[in-house]
Amino acid sequence: MSAGAALAVEAVSVHFSGVRALNEVSLDVAPGSVSAVIGPNGAGKSTLFNVITGFYRPSAGRVRLGEAELTRMRPHRIARLGVSRTFQNLELSDGETVLENIMLGCYLQGRSGVLRAGLRLPGARAEERAARERCAEMAELVGLGPLLHRPCGPLPYGTRKRVEIARALAGEARLLLLDEPVAGMTAGEIDAMAELIRTVHGSLGLTILLIEHDVRFVLGLAGSVTVLDFGEVIARGSPDQIRADPAVIAAYLGEDPPAGAAAAPGTPSTETA
Ligand SMILES: Nc1ncnc2c1ncn2[C@@H]1O[C@H](COP(=O)(O)OP(=O)(O)OP(=O)(O)O)[C@@H](O)[C@H]1O
């Protein structure tokens, strides 16, 4: 497994016909760290992920992964460098098994063996076997070992989310981007997801960047947090620094929030230290 890669976002701006979705946003993610971006609805979090993965081209600024310049690279090439993501809404094929869904991750990240095996090209079977083994390992890591050959459709939401994470890991990710990994989850599922992310991070040593509304989840998991508001970075630092930052309290956390409460998606958080 390749070690986690450093991500550098430098003064990135994205404009959509009059809307400044991101305005000179900079972000440094240390290799092998767990970092997070939080911010209210419309703050620019998804736009940032779309820039990093090459789906949006910024009007200004640069993005680098280690030594590689991602700024003008196409999404499939960025994926091949080991940038992998999950989505806010589950993007699984319900009729396929857990293993088949995870195998798609190998294909999406440019491992051609799965496709070439279908075409009966030379050398492809060994490559496909290796990809299957890798996918089964990732399934095991996220606790899906016993479910490999079950169709995804009927599985509970939290389990399906695990399938999505295993799929994102299947192509040997060096940077894993998690888009609202606990949206719509119960408190128990949220705790289980935090534990899963710690396990994945501890076992694979990759870099993880997540965007999330649930502030309590983020502050308990990430080593470093960036806060966006209206497309601008208003704060960055450790969870303790974020909890104490007056601009964050005013703009995002609410003026006088009760201790320990988590934000519901789409509402200002009530989390405090
Ligand atoms: N393709 C697009 N075309 C036009 N405007 C867009 C587009 N994508 C995003 N925007 C606008 O850019 C701003 C930032 O949106 P973005 O989705 O990045 O915010 P977000 O922080 O991810 O919000 P949420 O938490 O609701 O997902 C918003 O004003 C949004 O309406």
Smallest Cα–Cα separation from 66: which of 111, 108, 30? 30
Mean pLDDT, residues 75-87 taken together: 91
CATH superfamily of this structure's domain 91-172 = P-loop containing nucleotide triphosphate hydrolases (3.40.50.300)
Q: Sign (positive/negative) of CA torsion 67, 81, 143, 263?
A: positive
CA distance linking residue 156 with residue 252, whole number of Å: 32
Q: Confirm or reject: Cβ of 4 under 6 Å from ligand 1.
A: no
What's the pTM?
0.86
For 179-204, the pLDDT digits (tens) are: 999 998 999 999 999 999 999 999 99
Looking from the CA of residue 22, the nearest atom of ligand 1 is 14
Q: Confirm or reject: Cβ of 264 under 6 Å from ligand 1.
A: no
Supply the residue whose CA is at minimum distance from atom 18 of ligand 1: 44
Cβ–Cβ under 8 Å, residues 167 and 144? no
**How many other C-beta atoms lie within 10 A of the C-beta of residue 227?**
25
Q: How far is the CA of 38 from the centre of ligand 1 (A)?
A: 14
Smallest Cα–Cα separation from 170: which of 236, 123, 244, 114? 114
Q: Which of 9, 14, 16 to mutate to test the pocket of ligand 1 (most atoms within 8 A of CB)?
A: 16
CA distance linking residue 222 with residue 244, whole number of Å: 16
Task: Indicate if the pLDDT at residue 162 is higher than 70.
Answer: yes
Task: Indicate if the pLDDT at residue 232 is higher than 80.
Answer: yes
Integer angstrom CA distances of residue 39 from 84, 215, 236: 22, 9, 12
Q: Strand, helix or coil at 127?
A: helix
Q: Which residues, in sequence order, are bridge partners of residue 38?
A: 212, 227
Domain at 1-82+174-273, CATH from 1.10.10.10, 3.40.50.300, 3.50.50.60, 3.20.20.70: 3.40.50.300
Tokens linked to 91: 């993007």
Range(s) for CATH 3.40.50.300 in the chain? 1-82+174-273, 91-172
Could you tell me if the ipTM is greater than 0.90?
yes
Look up residue 201 and give its amino acid.
H
Looking from the CA of residue 88, the nearest atom of ligand 1 is 27
Q: Confirm or reject: Cβ of 45 under 6 Å from ligand 1.
A: yes
CA distance linking residue 213 with residue 43, whole number of Å: 11
Least reliable range by pLDDT among 3-17, 32-46, 82-96, 174-188: 82-96
Looking at residue 106, what is its pLDDT?
A: 75
Mean pLDDT, residues 100-117 taken together: 68
